[in-house]
Amino acid sequence: MLTLAAFIVALGLLIAVHEWGHYRMAVACGVRVLRFAIGFGKPLLRWQARNSPTEFTLAAFPLGGYVKMLDEREAPVPTHERHLAFNTQPLRSRIAIVAAGPLANLLLAVLLYAVVNWIGVQLPAAILASPEAGSIAARAGVVGGERVARAGFADDELQDLASFEDLRWLITQGALEKRDLRLLLAGAVRTGRGEIVLKLSGLEVSEVDADLFRKIGIAAPFSQAVIGQLVAGGVADKAGLRPGDVVRQVGAVPVFDGQQLRQLIRASAASAEAPALAWKIHRGPGELEITVKPDRAPDGAAFIGRIGAYVGAMPESVLVRYGALDGLWRGALHAWDVSVLTLKMMGKMLIGEASLKNLSGPLTIADYAGKSAGMGLTQYLLFLALISVSLGVLNLLPLPVLDGGHLMYYLWEAITGKPVSEVWTERLQRGGVAMLGVMMAIAIFNDINRLFG
């Protein structure tokens, strides 16, 4: 129920803001707006302010919306009202009206990111976990427990990191842009090194997912190797492990953190039945030894070990909060960075450098809406901001039937001095609908595989 409610609220808000952008700009340009509609199907609400030409409607299915303006291409317009029609407006006004919808979504994202910055949010500290053997981080010398104070790309100035999420964002950018990332470490007791370089420039990236971060070796923040909640009757329960046990050693391998312990458990049954190994456990004031034999469970085409318990303590967290102007400025910068990264990912998918599996549809969005809402207000606001950026960027693409397609027509008109012919407009619209249909089909297919595969 929470997932459905969070999804409907998200879609309704983002669509309303998008259409409100079109509506307000149309009114500002002197165009008569006949209807402002949110949703499809039979209207649930319908109202019209006194002395206003605009009818506002809210329908049952908030999966879209539209702003209907006076336009000679849709219905006859009296001569004395031609100056109020959309199609009679100067080119600059038509461009402004069409662009206002996507820009409203981008401005909403800036505001949402700013609100999160003002409220403040508890995020994991930028402390590195033990990387997988052979990963980029492992080759760079990361062993786990290092706190990253500052980071930056090879040719850029280093910037302070407020949290592990800041680091994850820089890693994502570096992987997609093939740029090496410099990390300035504080408290690198085990490595004894003050600065390392993650060689991301040689990384082939097709999908931004958990596998990518495992290849890089920075998948999660540092957490202690503590046993959490147990599955009744599971391996850990039967072996005698208890919540709060701190694992010091598995077989002959010393354990330093939760990430390393999870890797050892997963890898234990990768190629054969997992062996029974002696675990050294710190419990209360003393230590003891417990024999644990992980189950072998399928994980896609491979097999992994599992013990039926949550592994790893909650990572150290920091409160990230900014003042009024700094929070707004950082919100604008983050919205810009997400927009640029979204465009780059779309470009990579277009030329085949990134997998089409990165496309997400309504099922994944609904799933994330419910999960983020369940995690609290700030996480839900961050989710809304991300989807708002995506909606704004998507609508600015030069694809017929989208706002960007209409802007493409206006660019042609600005260059040639005449509008695109009706014949070509119809052909391009059909092609745009077909392309959009293919994209939606791929996105829904990805959703089904992701959620039910």
Which of the residues 19, 132, 157, 287 is marked catalytic? Answer: 19
pTM: 0.85
Domain ranges of the chain: 90-120+322-453, 136-216, 227-313
Give the integer Cα–Cα distance in Å for 387 and 383: 6
What CA–CA distance (Å, rounded) separates 269 from 441? 37
Q: What is the pLDDT of residues 37-70, one digit of tens each?
A: 998 778 888 888 888 889 999 987 777 889 999 9
pLDDT at 189 > cutoff 60: no
- pLDDT for res 439: 82
Known catalytic residue at 19: yes
Nearest CA among 190, 194, 137 for reference residue 168 = 137
In the beta sheet, which residues pair with residue 160? Answer: 150
| Burial (CB count within 10 angstroms: exposed 0-12, middle 13-18, buried 19+), residue 187 | exposed
Exposure of 430 in the CB half-sphere (CA atoms within 13 A): 5
Fold of 227-313: Pdz3 Domain (2.30.42)
> Quick count: other Cβ atoms within 10 Å of Cβ 214?
15
Residue 196 vs residue 331, higher pLDDT:
331
pLDDT band with cut points at 50, 70 and 90 for residue 24: very high
